[in-house]
Amino acid sequence: MVEGGFVTAAVGDRVHDYSGGLTFSVVITCLMAASCGLIFGYDIGVSGGVTQMESFLKKFFPEVLRGLKSAKHDAYCKYDNQVLTAFSSSMFLAGMVSSLAASRVTRRVGRKAVMLIGGTLFLTGSIINAGAVNIAMLIIGRMLLGFDVGFTTQAAPLYLAETSPARWRGAFTMTYHLLLVVGILSATIANYFTNRIPDWGWRVSLGIAVLPATIIVIGALFVPDTPSSLVLRGKPNKARTSLQRLRGADADVEAEFKDIVLAVEVARQNDEGAFKRLRNMGYRHYLLVMVAIPTFYDFTGMIVISVFTPVLFRTVGFNSQKAVSGTVIITLVGLCAVTLSTFVVDRCGRRFLLLIGGITMMIYQWRCLGYWHNTLESIRA
């Protein structure tokens, strides 16, 4: 069967180690797809830094800036502006809506086309945000970024899983998250320097996103679509050509290609009544885990912390530059962890990393809870 592009042998439940190794073509192709994580990470990192820049607040939210300057002790509860919140959250709302249709669209038009569309949306949204003259332009630009995120977070990991060699599939798929953290770090560093530019520094931070978006749009024009996607859409000859290009000109791809065709046929046969079968007892625990892991991860608030780290530092008394500096340090720690995970995921397995990450998160979130409790108590005193 096909599991995110993973071709499982029909006999003996063994994964075949097909001919063809790590080629230049597959590395470049996968890096281009993983760059979708770069633009997502950049937008996560840039928004929190921009929303605490005085030049940005002076232009669009002067009442928030006045509240910050009039604060006696710190900036706690001085960012409680609904329109400012709409600027930050509009991307995620748009991403949530677009993700509802992303799976069906990706299946119909292919992974490559979705990444091209997503890159174009991100490029357009970045230009609108950098040139914004009113709040409406800011929110429209953020919504376009959100539509990109909703589609590319579906298509890019799937593209990576379907094109990477089985032996290195975990590492290649992890590059999406690796570049996501690199994007957050890049945005934070950009904010650190542009924060010193009076009046229009925020435009530079938002406009830098044009560069990776342009690379994705151009790159998506030249990379092949995945063999599984092409077979699924009735293009077996193009699928064979794509597979040969990815595995190398001298590789024997016949066995892998036959398994891809077989897997797609099996997947088609199982399409009818798929959601009904998920409710059966044999699939129920898989369904529970599939829903619970991303849901409870979001409930931990890690995404919120990633977006608003500069604002969190600002609310407890850091000035603007120190808030961004603290964010750089935190992001560097995350980058080290993701880099290590990329190298060990295929050796240690996904479950091991999930357990280690969950336990570590639990310990440090408990420590963070104690810290913020003490901070609130000191404010009330």
Percent of the chain with pLDDT over 90: 26
- Asked whether the CA dihedral 114, 46, 343, 363 is positive or negative, the reply is negative
C-alpha–C-alpha distance, residues 129 and 338, integer Å? 30
* CA max distance for the chain: 73
- The band of 17, judged by pLDDT with boundaries at 50, 70 and 90, is low
∠ CA 373-375-376, nearest 5°, is 65
Under DSSP, the state recorded for 169 is H
pLDDT at position 11: 39
Q: Is 12 exposed, middle or buried (0-12, 13-18, 19+ CB in 10 A)?
A: exposed
What does the pLDDT average to over 206-215?
Answer: 91
Here the tokens at position 58 are: 């002076």
C-alpha–C-alpha distance, residues 313 and 327, integer Å? 8
Task: Give yes or no for a contact between 217 and 123, defined as CB atoms under 8 angstroms apart.
Answer: yes
Residue with tokens 């193009």: 238
Q: Name the nearest CA neighbour of 223 among 2, 21, 3, 27.
A: 27
Task: Give yes or no for a contact between 183 and 37, defined as CB atoms under 8 angstroms apart.
Answer: yes
pLDDT at position 133: 93
Here the tokens at position 99 are: 């993700």
- The band of 204, judged by pLDDT with boundaries at 50, 70 and 90, is very high
Percent helix, strand and coil across the chain, each to the nearest 5: 80, 0, 20
- The band of 78, judged by pLDDT with boundaries at 50, 70 and 90, is low
- The band of 19, judged by pLDDT with boundaries at 50, 70 and 90, is low
pLDDT at position 227: 92
Over residues 156-202, the pLDDT tens digits come to 999 998 888 878 888 888 889 889 999 999 998 998 899 888 888 99
Over residues 281-307, the pLDDT tens digits come to 778 888 888 888 888 888 877 777 778
- The band of 346, judged by pLDDT with boundaries at 50, 70 and 90, is confident
Strands 2-3 and 6-7, bridge-based pairing: antiparallel
pLDDT at 51 over 80: yes
pLDDT at 277 over 80: no
